Amino acid sequence: MTSRAPIIQLRDVTKTYGAGSTAFRALNGIDLDIKAGEFVAIMGSSGSGKSTLMNILGCLDSPTSGRYLFAGCAVEGLSKEQRALIRRHYLGFVFQGYNLLARTSALENVELPLLYRGMSRGERREQARRALDAVGLLPWRHHASNELSGGQQQRVAVARAIATSPRVLFADEPTGNLDTKVSREVMELITDLNRTQGITAVMVTHEPEMAGYADRIVTVVDGTIASDSRRRGDGVESEVA
């Protein structure tokens, strides 16, 4: 996690939906480098292409053209299965709607991605407890997800995303369903994980206040990057065009 080389490099990435006269170009030549340890917020209005960009960055979707190097490896041409394996081993996700399994304890929810990694029961328990402890919910580990408040549920979702020690944590509108106070708590949690544990975080949001927690704000307008600014210079020089 101390590597200074970009963990994510996009070069002239485009994404087109449909074909022929009905084709819609959602991304139009994106170049983006994200270094390990960075906390990047991707902003933009709805329809700007920020969600498409997020899906491509998170290997949920593949670009129509262009290059995507993840930790130096080209992933733009990978199959559905191969992308799933990248997500399993290197990425963590937090969604707007939490997406926890209902009637399932917080601990078992956090264990879920570890289960797909084929980890043994003991290891799984241990790692899930550690992740829950990191988000301050260890005492709630046996509560079913539907017994928790929205903020707590989102913290469980963060724990689930970091339980696998991912190279990059993706958060898609993580505060979209939360009120301001709880939103701040969740943002402070992500910021804290980024600072203290060095987790690279990429967050999509349309709220400037939430984007303000990030080190760097990338604004997407009509499928291109309109601006890329650093909020605070902490020794890292911005080279991004």
Partner 1 sequence: MLWNALTIAVREIRRNLLRGFLTVLGVVIGVAAVVIMVSLGQGATESVTSQVESLGSNLIMAIPGTGVGPSGGSAPGFRLSDAEEIAAGVSGVRAVAPLRMVGAKAVYLQEDWSTQAVGTTVDYFSVAGWAFAEGRPFTEAEFVGARPVCVLGNTVVSELFGQQDPVGARIRLKGLTCEVVGVLAAKGQGAMGQDQDSVVVLPLSTVQRRLAGRLGDRDVDRMMISARDGVSADRVVRDVTDVLRDRRGIRAGEDDDFSVLDTKEIADALSSTTKILTYLLGAVAAVSLLVGGIGIMNIMLVSVTERTREIGLRMSIGALPREVLLQFLVEALVLSLIGGLVGIVLALVVSYVLAQAMGIPYIIDPRINLVAFAFSAAVGVVFGYAPARRAARLDPIEALRFE
What DSSP character marks residue 193? H
Residue 181 C-alpha from the chain's centroid: 21
* Least distance between partner 1 and beta carbon 123 (Å): 14
Considering only 9, 37, 42, 55, the residue that binds partner 1 (CB under 8 A) is: 55
* Residue 185 CB neighbour total at 10 angstroms: 16
Instruction: Give the β-pairing of 168-172 and 200-205.
Output: parallel
81 lines the binding site for partner 1 (CB under 8 A): yes
Among 5, 23, 74, 101, binds partner 1 (CB under 8 A): 101
Give the number of other Cβ atoms within 10 Å of residue 188's Cβ: 11
Among 71, 78, 84, 182, which residue interacts with partner 1 (rule: CB under 8 A)?
84
Q: How far apart are the first and last CA of the chain?
A: 24
30: left (phi over 0), alpha (psi -120 to 50) or beta: beta
Which C-beta is closer to partner 1: that of 26 or that of 217?
Answer: 26
Total binding residues toward partner 1, as defined by CB under 8 A: 29
Query: Segment contacting partner 1 (CB under 8 A): 38-46, 58-66, 70-78, 208-216?
Result: 58-66
Contacts with partner 1, residue ranges (CB under 8 A): 55, 58, 60-61, 80-81, 84-85, 87-89, 91-93, 95, 97, 99, 101-104, 108, 112-113, 115-118, 160
